[in-house]
Amino acid sequence: MKKIRNSFKYAIEGIWTSFKTERNMKIHIFIMILVIIAGIILKINKSEWIICIILFAIVIGSELFNTSIETIVDMVMPEKNEKAKIAKDVSAGAVLVVAIGAAIIGLVIFVPRILNILI
């Protein structure tokens, strides 16, 4: 039981460290909070909540992987190196692709509701 508890403790420490040190993680969390508030106000349905929760996990998880990759690359290769740059850029690009996909899905969910209110 102690091993499981420690595993959760270390995982939460990793998430917290990423939040404290990574600007993009703060942005993702802020947007997640805005989406949750919008979902409550606009009364999205159960399926849409499930989609949002899955997207939250994918975006935050991707950012955590990106932070991990960047940290390892910086540790192994502190001096400038073209291959290290490629690894970091590709990792950041993966997060961007996921975030853009999540934003598009968010627009599909929220824009019709917003238009119904405005029109």
Q: What is the dihedral of CA 64, 65, 69, 71, to 10 degrees?
A: 20
Q: In 49-117, which ranges are E strands?
A: none
pLDDT (0 to 100) of residue 86:
97
pLDDT (0 to 100) of residue 2:
83
pLDDT (0 to 100) of residue 1:
81
Phi-psi sector, 81: left (phi>0), alpha (psi -120 to 50), beta = beta
- Please tell me the chain's helix, strand, coil percentages from 3-state DSSP, rounded to the nearest 5: 90, 0, 10
Give per-residue pLDDT as tens, 45-98: 999 999 999 999 999 999 999 999 999 999 999 999 999 999 999 999 999 999
Sign of the torsion formed by the C-alpha atoms of 80, 82, 85 and 87: negative
Give per-residue pLDDT as tens, 16-56: 999 999 999 999 999 999 999 999 999 999 999 999 999 99
Domains of the chain: 2-118 (1.10.287.3610)
Q: Reply yes or no on whether 22 is catalytic.
A: no
Catalytic residue among 13, 22, 48, 63: 63
What confidence tier does 8 reach under pLDDT thresholds 50, 70, 90? very high
